Chains A and B, each alone.
Chain A
Amino acid sequence: MNNDVLLILLYITVFGLGYAFGRLKTGGAVNPTVPTSFLKNASIRPTSAIVPVHIDETKYVAPIQTAGLVLGESTNSIGKTTTTTDDIQSSVSKLAQLKGK
């Protein structure tokens, strides 16, 4: 019985000494960082180095051959041309101003 009490008191004393030593060493500051394995640290790559890379999957446009096509003899040009008196200069100026051009 006495031996058990002595053992418990010894545990408390050792714990107390350890706590006091720890306080003296760190000056009361607490370090919240949980120690981790150096192996884990070695496997972490810096995030700034990860750049997503995409391949261009847009459809390839092959050259369009029109060499074998010729306008019929009676056809000089195609399209109907009309001329308006509409002046677009004011539209151009106003839009250029809005877009800071």
Chain B
Amino acid sequence: MAKGLDVGTSFIVLAQDGANGAVEYKDFRDAFYAIKPTTPVAAKMIEKGLAGKVFIKDEDGTFILLGQDAIEKAVERNDSAKRPMFRGVVSPKEKDAKRVLAFILREVIRRPTSSAEPIVFCIPAQPVDQEDGDFDVGYHEDVVKLVLSEAGYAPRAINEAEALCYSEFENDNYSGIALSFGAGMVNVCVMLNGEPVVTFSTTKSGDWVDRMAAVAVNAPDSVVQAEKEHGDFVVGQPNDNAILGAVSAYYDRLIDYTVKQLIAALHSHKAIPKFSEPLPLVVAGGTSKATGFVDLFTQKLAANEYPEDLWPIKEVRAAGDQLHAVARGCLIAAKIL
């Protein structure tokens, strides 16, 4: 038995074998919200109020709401839930966040069914637009590896967009361009016959849209996020709702920026492979689920003079299951690596 794990800024997704050859996914919202009671009476009242919600108790008496319940509680208090990860990686400075992430990971993956069971998890590529000392992919990889190996697994890391390629390009001879639009980052991989030839990431994705829209309309990020996920809007189109209007406008800018980064990376690639046929381009991740995303992406490729003669594209499409595609690719990798 092998497992695939997508450790994302917004969601942790476990993929494993289900009954009769099916694939089973376990999703968990990667968020927490801490409430520290000031008196024993307050602690009892808070615990009563949290009945039915997903939470953990810390030894100092703090209640830590997890997942979607954490986000809802934060919105209720006009506050923002915390994330164990920031821009795709564990931050070395966030001690509590690392502890909560370790707890969540252990609860999601549980114990292995066999000794040293293989598990493949995804890591981001080094970003092209971030030179912050806090951004340390190696540290992130080591933290996740430590948690998984302590749980009894034999962990191995692969690039997030590479995993997406494994999931989506079976009928294209494992050749194509994959973009994983997570919450914190966009990861890109160009694959040729099962081998990655270009990989990079950018640090502007769904969270950037939320933050910019929140500043524009003077609202908390979590309120914008909730509105974005449940609201009716088309990316790049005006909207009567002020929050959704801002979200739509920043989506347009995000897609334009990502397409420009993709074109710049392809132009700077020295050894251009010979493609026997045009490549499919696949987008996945929660951020890419917005209505009109694929259409606007296609328009932006043309508007930014994508080098069609060197890197031909036959279609732009969304992954079969945009939220689970990376975890699915990790599971496929775990079975052969």
The residues of A with any CB-CB pair to B shorter than 8 Å are 58-59, 61, 63-66, 68-72, 74-75, 77-92, 94-96, 98-99, 101
Contact = CB atoms under 8 A, between A and B. Distances in A.
Contacts, number: 133
Contacts of B21: 87, 89
The A interface, classified by DSSP as helix, strand, loop or mixed, is: loop
A101 B337 CA distance: 8
Contacts of A80: 26-28
A3 to B, nearest CB: 76
A84 B59 contact: no
B102 A59 contact: no
Contacts of A65: 99
Nearest to A99: B194
Given A83-B18, A95-B166, A98-B174, A88 B28 contact: no
Contact of B106 (A66, A87, A88): A66
Given A85-B22, A91-B166, A77 B107 contact: yes
B275 interface: no
B103 A66 contact: yes
B312 interface: no
Interface of B: 12, 14, 18-19, 21-28, 47, 50-60, 63-64, 66-67, 92, 98-100, 102-104, 106-108, 136, 138-139, 142-143, 146-147, 166-167, 170, 173-174, 193-194, 320-321, 324, 328, 331-332, 335-336
Contacts of B108: 78-79
B22 A87 contact: yes
A85 B126 CA distance: 35
B163 to A, nearest CB: 11
Contacts of B146: 61, 63-64
B26 A84 contact: no
Given A59-B138, A66-B102, A95-B174, A81 B25 contact: yes
Nearest to B165: A95
A81 B63 CA distance: 25
Contact of B193 (A83, A92, A98): A98
B20 to A, nearest CB: 9
A41 B2 CA distance: 61
23 contacts: A58-B142, A61-B143, A61-B146, A68-B60, A71-B56, A72-B50, A72-B53, A72-B54, A79-B14, A79-B107, A79-B108, A83-B18, A83-B22, A83-B23, A83-B24, A84-B23, A85-B22, A86-B321, A87-B23, A88-B23, A89-B21, A95-B166, A98-B173
A61 B135 CA distance: 15
B170 A79 contact: no
A58 B167 CA distance: 31
B138 A70 contact: no
Contacts of B324: 84
